[in-house]
A and B are shown apart, each in its own frame.
Chain A
């Protein structure tokens, strides 16, 4: 054929499928796409994990509060809980009770020292619990904020390539550019796909973690007050 210019173009795709789009993409775009897919998988794993954890935690706290305020003696409750590894509110209770019992078993009589020790134990336990609640939430925040940019980077790179292919072929038709642009846009689509759930879930989950943490602290304050009252009664 006369004048047909053979150029190293992105060969026009007869039908655009996700696989062909991916396979014909540049290596950088491929890396971006794979990275975003992994980020999406991992962030959804975190979301599911946290959602399960929080709902469990809430049920646990409800149950514990019910038994705690049921009039059962603290000693009894402590004995029933200390056997297994306590979680959430129970762990706060167990830690404080342990410190209390140790102090009395050692014969310490300093009211002030006991109170401050118990408060410190409570603080440490609460921060450990909330740390467990909020672990890996930061990954969601990172994906949510960086995902679109990473996708955009893939898109810019892909469009750069397709414009280079225009320059190489002297052919300005959409048929030459379209596959490259479609590939490139796939990267942005994946970036958004990963980022949107991550942002939404991060907001929801961090709010929930904050609520649970607040509840733990409220209980700790209450329990600390109870213990200090008991210490006063015993001291007299």
Chain B
């Protein structure tokens, strides 16, 4: 008699277990699928450089009376700020060489423009050494280069118009004043308009290339300290983006900040480890002249290989 009860009970348990195996295993999989987020490579953008770019863009506007030309010239600088798209890069590079060759005034204007906001050292160096870096994008000379290339992409419009007008010194000053005045306006206007970011990258590239190499060095230095959590299958599962400020002596200022980390089970660990790596690997040897560029660094950590 009790055998029937035992049989029924065992059968029901088996059925329930089987059902549990099916349902229990599938539900978490769905959740993990939803959570994985594709993440793009994020470049470092410097606020000071953006400001410089605006100044130049304004000067370009004032000299050139034609609206269409101006707009074309302006659009690149705006994109500079948020610039993160790849398609644009090809067009911007051409302008820089032209600038370096033609306008003698351009370097001066650049030198003065950064002077307002950049450290004194940078100003002293920029006028003397600028011409060479313009032609050569080599990283070692980057100390001087960053400000100049920055301006170049924005410049494309200004150089061409001013070239004929170079003789007039007075006009040039007026433009600069106008540029200073406009800068505030454009700055306010540009901030919200990040939608045009795609073009910005294009202009940003020549500038960024210099900084990028140093940023790469910084990244590799930090990445050596980064303990990647084990067990991941897709690099995305552990890739994190960290933003942190740096002091002039290369030490980390404040607490690094996680910009984004994947929603995988390793994401949080990976982000924590990355922050730890940033804090432990300092201080970093970076060119003091370009402090404006690396005062705030945003790095994306991806597992090597």
Binding site for B on A (CB under 8 A): 1-6, 11-12, 14-19, 37, 40-50, 52-53, 136, 171-176, 178
The residue in A16, A53, A171, A173 that gathers the most chain B C-beta atoms within 10 A of its C-beta is A173
Report whether A18 and B20 are in contact in the complex, using a CB–CB cutoff of 8 Å. Answer: yes
Q: With A3-B226, A48-B9, A173-B268 given, can you name 13 additional A-B contacts, CB distance below 8 Å?
A: A12-B230, A14-B233, A15-B29, A44-B13, A46-B5, A48-B4, A49-B2, A49-B4, A52-B5, A171-B229, A172-B272, A174-B268, A175-B229
Closest to A135 in B: B2
Binding site for A on B (CB under 8 A): 1-2, 4-10, 12-13, 17, 20-21, 24-25, 28-29, 32, 224-231, 233, 265-266, 268-269, 272, 303-304
Closest to B265 in A: A175
The residue in A11, A18, A174 that gathers the most chain B C-beta atoms within 10 A of its C-beta is A18
Report whether B228 and A17 are in contact in the complex, using a CB–CB cutoff of 8 Å. Answer: no
Q: Which of A5, A12, A45, A171 contacts B2 (CB 8 A)?
A: A45
With contact pairs A48-B8, A178-B265 given, residues A1 and B228 touching in the complex (Cβ less than 8 Å): yes
Closest to A43 in B: B9
Report the bound CA distance from A46 to B1 in whole Å: 10
Which 8 pairs across A and B sit closest by C-beta, in order of nearness? A49-B5, A173-B269, A17-B25, A44-B9, A45-B6, A48-B5, A45-B9, A175-B265
Shortest distance from the beta carbon of A139 to any chain B beta carbon, whole Å = 12
Report whether A18 and B10 are in contact in the complex, using a CB–CB cutoff of 8 Å. Answer: no
With contact pairs A19-B21, A41-B10, A171-B229 given, residues A52 and B4 touching in the complex (Cβ less than 8 Å): yes
Q: Which of A1, A4, A15, A46 contacts B28 (CB 8 A)?
A: A15
Report whether A5 and B231 are in contact in the complex, using a CB–CB cutoff of 8 Å. Answer: no
Q: Which of B5, B20, B21, B272 contacts A47 (CB 8 A)?
A: B5
Report whether A45 and B8 are in contact in the complex, using a CB–CB cutoff of 8 Å. Answer: yes
Report whether B4 and A173 are in contact in the complex, using a CB–CB cutoff of 8 Å. Answer: no
Closest to B232 in A: A12
A-B contact pairs, 9 of them (CB 8 A): A3-B227, A17-B21, A44-B8, A45-B2, A45-B8, A47-B5, A52-B5, A172-B269, A173-B269
Report the bound CA distance from A174 to B231 in whole Å: 13
